[in-house]
C-alpha cells in the first residue's frame, strides 16, 4: 500500500481502501477503514498522493509526542556493554498530498490499525503522557505486517559501571525517522547514564545492511518516509528524550 500514486487511483489492503477520483471538475479523496470513513475535496490539479508510515502518535488524537515501548521481558545489560536488539513499534499510515516533484507534502489523513493506549511516564505531578506499546524482544528482525507494526533496531549502551535492568524505553517523535520498503524500520539508540537515567535518540544514518539477518537490504532500496513531525517548522525542540524516572 505504501508508495506514490498519481490520481486517479484506488488502493485497497487489509480492510483499508484509499482512492482519489475525479467527480465533475473536482477531485474527491475517500478512505474507509472498518467503520471509519473520510471524504475530502481536493481543489487543484497536478497533485500526487504519497502513502507512507508515520510516527505512531497521531491517532486517535495527538496528545503527546512521546512513545513508550515496554519490553515484554526485562533486559539486563552489564556495565560498559553495548548490544543491539530488535523491537516492534506501532505504525500509523499517513496520506500526504504533494505537488508534482514531491514538493510541499501536506498531511491529509492518518489512520492506524494498531492498538491504541496511553500511559504516564514519571510522577503524577511532573511526568509525561506517552503512547504505550508493548513489544517482544528479538535478536533478528522479525517479519511483521508493515501496516500495523514496524521494526526498531535499538542499540543499548550502558555507560555506567553497574548492571542495568531495562524494561522500557521512551522516544520523542521529533527525532523519529522512518524508512519503508516491504517493512517499516527505525534505528534508535539508548544510552544508560546511571542507575535511574538514560537518553534515547534516533540515528539518521543509512539502514544497517544486516537488517534482515540473512536478507541483505540497503538504504538505497528502502525509502525515507515523510514524517508528520519532521514536516513541522520546529524551533528549539530536543530530538532526544531524557529518561529521568528510570527505565
Partner 1 sequence: MILPDINLPAILPDLNLLDNVLYTTSKSQVTPGDLIKFVIVLTFSIIFLRVIIIYLRRTLKDHVSKDVGEPILKLLYYGSLVVIFISILPLIGIDPSGLLLAGGVAGIVLGFASQNIVGNLVSGCFLMFERPIKIGDQVDVNGIAGYVTDIRIISTLIRTYDGLLVRIPNQQVFTTNITNIVGHPVRRFEYTIRIRYSDDAGAAIWLIKDLIDKEPFALLSPSPSVFVNELGDSSVNIVVRIWAPVSEWFGLKTRLLWNIKKTLEENGIEIPYPQRVLHIKSETEKKPQLAEEPNINRLEETEPVLNFEERVLN
Told to check if 128 binds partner 1 by CB under 8 A, we report yes
Residues 55-74 that bind partner 1 (CB under 8 A): 60-61, 63-64
Q: Which is nearer to partner 1, 127 or 209 (CB)?
A: 127
Per the CB < 8 A criterion, the answer to whether 146 and 103 are in contact is: no
What are the angstrom distances between the C-alpha of 109 and each of 39, 77, 89, 98, 165?
10, 41, 20, 13, 39
Q: Which is nearer to partner 1, 26 or 115 (CB)?
A: 115
Question: Which one of 17-25, 157-165, 185-193, 230-238 is the stretch in contact with partner 1 (CB under 8 A)?
Answer: 230-238
DSSP E strands, 78-163 = 82-90, 92-99, 103-112, 118-121, 128-135, 149-158
Told to check if 100 binds partner 1 by CB under 8 A, we report no
Q: Which is nearer to partner 1, 32 or 119 (CB)?
A: 119
Q: How far is the CB of 124 from partner 1 (least distance, A)?
A: 6
Question: Which one of 76-84, 86-94, 120-128, 139-147 is the stretch in contact with partner 1 (CB under 8 A)?
Answer: 120-128
DSSP structure class, residue 138: B
Taking the alpha carbons at both ends of the chain, their separation in whole angstroms is: 36
Rounded CA separation 221/118 (Å):
34
Residue 18 in 3-state DSSP? strand
Q: Which is nearer to partner 1, 63 or 215 (CB)?
A: 63
DSSP structure class, residue 46: S
Told to check if 36 binds partner 1 by CB under 8 A, we report no
Binding site for partner 1 (CB under 8 A): 60-61, 63-64, 116-121, 124-129, 132, 233-236
Amino acid at each position: 500500500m505504501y508508495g506514490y500514486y498519481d490520481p486517479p487511483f484506488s488502493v485497497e489492503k487489509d480492510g483499508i481502501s484509499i482512492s482519489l477520483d475525479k467527480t465533475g471538475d473536482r477531485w474527491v479523496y475517500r478512505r474507509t477503514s472498518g467503520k471509519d470513513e473520510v471524504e475530502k475535496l481536493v481543489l487543484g490539479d497536478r497533485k500526487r498522493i504519497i502513502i507512507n508510515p508515520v510516527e505512531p502518535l497521531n491517532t486517535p488524537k495527538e496528545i503527546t509526542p512521546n512513545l513508550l515501548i515496554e519490553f515484554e521481558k526485562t533486559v539486563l545489560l552489564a556495565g560498559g556493554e553495548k548490544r543491539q536488539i530488535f523491537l516492534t513499534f506501532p505504525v500509523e499510515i499517513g496520506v500526504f498530498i504533494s505537488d508534482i516533484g514531491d514538493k510541499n507534502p501536506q498531511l491529509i489523513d492518518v489512520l492506524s490499525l494498531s492498538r491504541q493506549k496511553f500511559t504516564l511516564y514519571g510522577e503524577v505531578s511532573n511526568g509525561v503522557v506517552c503512547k504505550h506499546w508493548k513489544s517482544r524482544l528479538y535478536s533478528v528482525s522479525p517479519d511483521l505486517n508493515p501496516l500495523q507494526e514496524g521494526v526498531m533496531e535499538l542499540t543499548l549502551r550502558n555507560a555506567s559501571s553497574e548492571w542495568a535492568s531495562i524494561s522500557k524505553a521512551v522516544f520523542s517523535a521529533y527525532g523519529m525517522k522512518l524508512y519503508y520498503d516491504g517493512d517499516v524500520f527505525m534505528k534508535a539508540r539508548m544510552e544508560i547514564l546511571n542507575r535511574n537515567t538514560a537518553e534515547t535518540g534516533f540515528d539518521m544514518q543509512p539502514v544497517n545492511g544486516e537488517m534482515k539477518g540473512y536478507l541483505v537490504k540497503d538504504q538505497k532500496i528502502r525509502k525515507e518516509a515523510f514524517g508528520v513531525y519532521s514536516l513541522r517548522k520546529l524551533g528549539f525542540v530536543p530530538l532526544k528524550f531524557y529518561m529521568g524516572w528510570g527505565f
